[in-house]
Amino acid sequence: MRHTLPLAPQFYVTAPQPCPYLEGRMERKLFTALQGDAAEKLNDALSKQGFRRSQNVLYRPSCTECSACMSARIAVADFTPTKSQKRTRRRNAMLERRATSPWATDEQFDLFRTYLEDRHAEGGMADMDVFEFAAMIEETPIRSRVVEYTNRDTGNLTAVCLTDVLDDGLSMVYSFYEPGLQQQSLGTYMILDHIEIAREAGLPYVYLGYWVPGSPKMGYKAKFAGLEVYAAGAWQKMVDPRAYSAEKHPLSTDPIAEQVANISLPDLTPRRR
C-alpha cells in the first residue's frame, strides 16, 4: 500500500523552556515539519510570515504573555551603509568568499567549537558534537549554501554562514566566526556581504532571524538601515528601536488555534507529471 504525506502541514507547540534572550522568561515555539516535494514552497511562504528554519523544521515564537521576538529582514533597496559599516568592510578586505553546497567539514566544525566556547558556552548548542553539527549543515530539504570566508593571506577559515535561498531573498540560518578577531566585526561583515550577494542576485531581502527589544545580544541588528520586523501579522519598517517593547501582556499572543488559522499556506498540490 502506498502512503503519502498530508498536503496540509501539521502544526505543534513545544514545551516551555528558559528563554535565551530575556532573563526570567520562558519560551515556546509553534512549529511544523519541512518535508516532501513542496518543502521549498512551504519554506518560502512561512518565512514571509515570521518563521525560521532549523534543519527539517520551521518554527516561530509563540510565548505566553510575550511577543518580544520579531523576525527581522533587511530591504536591500533601502539599505545604505553607515560610516562604521563601511570601515568594517574595509577591515575585512582580505577575506575571500566561497559558496558551496551544504556539506560539513572538519575545519568548519573546529571553528564552530571555538566560537561556541567563547560566545555561547552555556547555550543550548554547547554540547553539539560533530555528527549533530553535520546534521545542522546538511539536513536541508531546500536550496541552501554554506558561505565560507577565508583569509587570503593566511589561508585560515575565518567565518561561515549557512544560508537558505528563498524566492524573495537570502535567509542567514546560522553563522559563526573566529571570536578572537573581535575588532573585525565579523558578524556585521557577513550581513553586509549577504546584502551584496542579494543585490547581485536581484533578491529584495536578507532575513536575519529574530530581533528582540531589550536583548543586548540582538542590538546589532537594529543598526542596519532598511530593517523591517514582522509584528502583529505584518512586516513593518523599523524607524526607532526604542518604540518596541519587551513588556509582558496577557493578550500579547493569540491562542494557538487562531495563530494556525491565520497562517497563509501556499498551494502544496503536487505537480502532475
pLDDT, tens digit, 9 for 90 and up, residues 21-80: 888 999 999 999 998 888 999 999 999 999 999 999 999 999 988 889 999 999 999 999
CB atoms within 10 A of CB 98: 11
* pLDDT, tens digit, 9 for 90 and up, residues 72-127: 999 999 999 999 999 999 999 999 999 999 999 999 999 999 998 887 656 567 67
pTM summary value: 0.92
Residue 165 CA, distance from chain mean position: 12
Q: Which domains does the chain have, with CATH numbers?
A: 11-70+247-261 (no CATH), 72-243 (3.40.630.30)
Q: What is the DSSP string of 19-54?
A: -SSSTT-EE-EEEEE--STTHHHHHHHHHTTT-EEE
